[in-house]
Amino acid sequence: MNAHDSSQPERLSVAVLAGGRSSEHEVSLASAAAVRDGLLAAGHGVLWIEIGRDGVWRSEGEPLTVTPGLGLMGVDVVFPVLHGPFGEDGTVQGFLDTLDVPYVGADVTASALCIDKVLFKELMSVAGMPQVDYMGVRAERFHDERQLVLDELTRLRLPVFVKPSRLGSSVGIVKVGDRDALGAALDGAFTHDPLAIVEVAAAGVEVECGVLGITTHAGAGSGSLPARAIASEPGEIVLPGEWYDYQAKYTPGGMELRIPAHISATARTRVRELALAAFQASGCSGLARVDFFVDGEHVLINELNTMPGFTPTSVYAKLLDASGVAYPELVDRLCRLACERHARERSYAR
């Protein structure tokens, strides 16, 4: 804190975690570089820590050695800009908890829950949230009872999407319009994850909504929304192709984000309400991007991403910018929310 100006916000020292072991390593590096630049623009100090594809953490090219309970290289807060397994799934969050250092984003439980598409949909079902029909399939069962599983999948209306359950960025997703192709699509999904999800393709447009703030831990069915979280203006994904695949997400011109979304005022309100409700039910904190299908007044939740792409041109940042939160302010607020949550969690006797 500046001794000459008590109104001056405290300058933070922030470790930015980049890279990671997952297939989204390069996406993470791009997101993390943008976060670093945003933090510097907001007046904070930044320590860059890169996690290699080999899983080794390095700072200035040298492997790190850390001690549980003693923080991470003396920083005030960690910003883990990691996508997919070994970063967005609770593993890194648990490690940071053992170091006793504040970190941006969802905790262990919410991270693990939300990256698992099957588990997330089951929670949303318990919470009474509207969503597409789906079925989870485990590789072991499919191997043992292939025809029985394929027969069970006939209850789902074609076309369907077959996805690895615990990957992001549309990696490994196949759209299937012919039942004879379901088996091969599942075989492909199982090369990425032993758990796959098969979802009915929804009608309408794809709409995304950003959430920023702190949730309570009341959990599903609490009936209350997080008092200190805000939902962004919804944005509509406009595609030149058939669906929102990896190329559409990361190829320049692959998609257009239309803000505000071309949906009715009623649907807009419903999207924002459901985004906050999903954030609350899953116990998220800091940030999330919640994805929807909107067909007229009919709104369905699709997924919740606890660490979405984070460049200034990524969907989440654009949604918050359109809602009055510029990029440097966004990364600043996320770091301060992380410090606040850490202090609150440490206040409990455990």
Q: How far apart are CA 149 and CA 169, in angstroms?
A: 27
Q: Helix H segments across 156-302? A: 182-189, 246-250, 265-281
Q: Is 309 a catalytic residue?
A: yes
Active-site residue (options: 22, 24, 172, 244)? 24
E strand or H helix that includes residue 176: strand 174-176
Active-site residue (options: 116, 236, 291, 321)? 291
Active-site residue (options: 116, 208, 245, 303)? 303
Length of the chain: 350
Active-site residue (options: 21, 289, 333, 341)? 289
Tokens found for residue 68: 């549980």
| Residue listed under structure tokens 């490690």 | 95
Active-site residue (options: 250, 254, 273, 329)? 250
- Give the count of beta carbons closer than 10 Å to the beta carbon of residue 343: 10
Residue 335's nearest CA partner among 100, 48, 112, 35 is 35
Q: CB–CB of 200/160 below 8 Å?
A: yes
Active-site residue (options: 23, 305, 314, 323)? 305
Q: Is 6 a catalytic residue?
A: no
Q: Is 2 a catalytic residue?
A: no
Active-site residue (options: 23, 111, 165, 169)? 169
Active-site residue (options: 87, 105, 168, 309)? 309
Handedness of CA 82, 83, 87, 93 (dihedral sign): positive
Determine the number of helices (DSSP H) and then strands (DSSP E) in the chain. Answer: 11, 15
Q: Is 305 a catalytic residue?
A: yes
Active site positions, annotated: 24, 169, 250, 289, 291, 303, 305, 309
